[in-house]
Amino acid sequence: MLSRVADNLYWMSRYLERAEHIARVMEVQYNLMLEATAESEEERWRRVLRTLGVRVKEGESVVEVAHSLTSDPDSPTSIVHCVMSAREIARQVREQISSEMWEQINRLFHAIRRADRVDLWQSDPLDFFQSICEGSYLFQGITDSKMTHGEGWHFIQLGRYMERASTLSTLIDAHYSEFDVALDPSVESDGDHLEWVGLLKSCTAFEAYCKVYSAETRPDRIGEFLILSPNFPHSIRFSVDAVETALRAISGLSSGKRSSRIERITGRLRAMLSFSQIDEIMAAGLHSYLQNVLKQCADAHSALHQVYITYAIEAALEA
């Protein structure tokens, strides 16, 4: 596969995963704002921005920046920007994806273009967020059922789960940093119960978590589920496992490209997640652990581009 095509499929998938993640977090937090709370709207939106890894510049309105994450095409972190970027990339690789995939991403693109930033927040933004999430789910399902599971499909999986591992790490880190769980993370926090439910829902994990642990919102159990679960699709470990699986498949299909460095990085990260215990993570510091995950994801992303996208001609000839 041409490196340009591989890069496009990878980024198309990352942009769609990012749009879905932002929409889901915004939807959950908007619903939490409807609950009785003494916290100001500005402070809550500031927290939302932190969980999404968005920084507010000096002099900017926190609420305005949060609102720009929906339908501002000029904001590189907005839902609209992500969907528009994914659609433009899909247009460039139409011969590599199925017609149903193109139709779905095009349908999602036209739906977000009809959304007006001002009217959206004055009416009901929940429908907008839900349409983004549902559109992303449809695209993923169509991709899995309509596209040959060859090299291109594996690059799409790679982009989806690389983005998911990174965004989950940022989200979980920001949430645990916001709420002090250092004293006893094994005790349910009554005052912040809705916030912990909100974290689980932001990861589509509330019902799945309740089936495993019941509805008791203990920070250590929530952390164990969202970070270390090997079976839940929106856990960090599951995402890293999927990244390594995709890389191994691509390596086997790519005619001997030198992929040992990236496989070493992802293998080390996978081993770290496989053999970690949540009590050890909490004791040593959850923040540093998740920052390490983010760093290794960034290293894997860089190695991926060096091996499969921006490699020198000489390296390709040697392979």
User: In whole angstroms, what is the distance from residue 45 CA to residue 30 CA?
Assistant: 9
User: In whole angstroms, what is the distance from residue 96 CA to residue 145 CA?
Assistant: 15
How far apart, in Å, are the Cα atoms of 13 and each of 155, 193, 223? 8, 33, 26
Q: What is the overall mean pLDDT for the chain?
A: 87
* pLDDT per residue as tens digits for the range 23-81: 999 999 888 887 655 567 788 888 889 999 888 888 888 888 888 888 788 888 899 99
Within a 10 A sphere around the Cβ of 245, how many other Cβ atoms?
16
Closest CA to 32 of 242, 259, 203, 195: 195
User: In whole angstroms, what is the distance from residue 219 CA to residue 209 CA?
Assistant: 12
Answer yes or no: is pLDDT of 317 > 80.
Answer: no
**pLDDT value, residue 319:** 46
Categorize the per-residue pLDDT at 316 as very low, low, confident or very high, splitting at 50, 70 and 90.
very low
pTM for the full predicted model: 0.91
**pLDDT value, residue 183:** 47
The angle, 0 to 180 degrees and rounded to 10, between the axes of the packed helices 3-33 and 151-178 is 30
* pLDDT per residue as tens digits for the range 206-218: 999 999 998 888 9
Categorize the per-residue pLDDT at 166 as very low, low, confident or very high, splitting at 50, 70 and 90.
very high
**pLDDT value, residue 6:** 93
**pLDDT value, residue 117:** 59
Query: Are 243 and 266 a contacting pair, CB within 8 Å?
Result: yes
* pLDDT per residue as tens digits for the range 101-139: 999 999 999 888 876 555 677 777 888 899 999 999 999
The angle, 0 to 180 degrees and rounded to 10, between the axes of the packed helices 3-33 and 126-146 is 150
Query: Are 229 and 271 a contacting pair, CB within 8 Å?
Result: no
Cα-to-chain-centroid distance, residue 86: 15
User: In whole angstroms, what is the distance from residue 266 CA to residue 297 CA?
Assistant: 8
Within a 10 A sphere around the Cβ of 124, how many other Cβ atoms?
10
Sign of torsion over alpha carbons 138, 141, 146, 150: positive
Residues 256-260: what's their mean pLDDT? 62
Answer yes or no: is pLDDT of 85 > 50.
Answer: yes
Closest CA to 13 of 191, 189, 201, 164: 164
**pLDDT value, residue 231:** 96
User: The tokens of 16 are what?
Assistant: 């769609």
Cα-to-chain-centroid distance, residue 123: 27
- From the CA atom positions of the chain, what is the Rg in Å? 20
* pLDDT per residue as tens digits for the range 233-245: 999 999 999 999 9
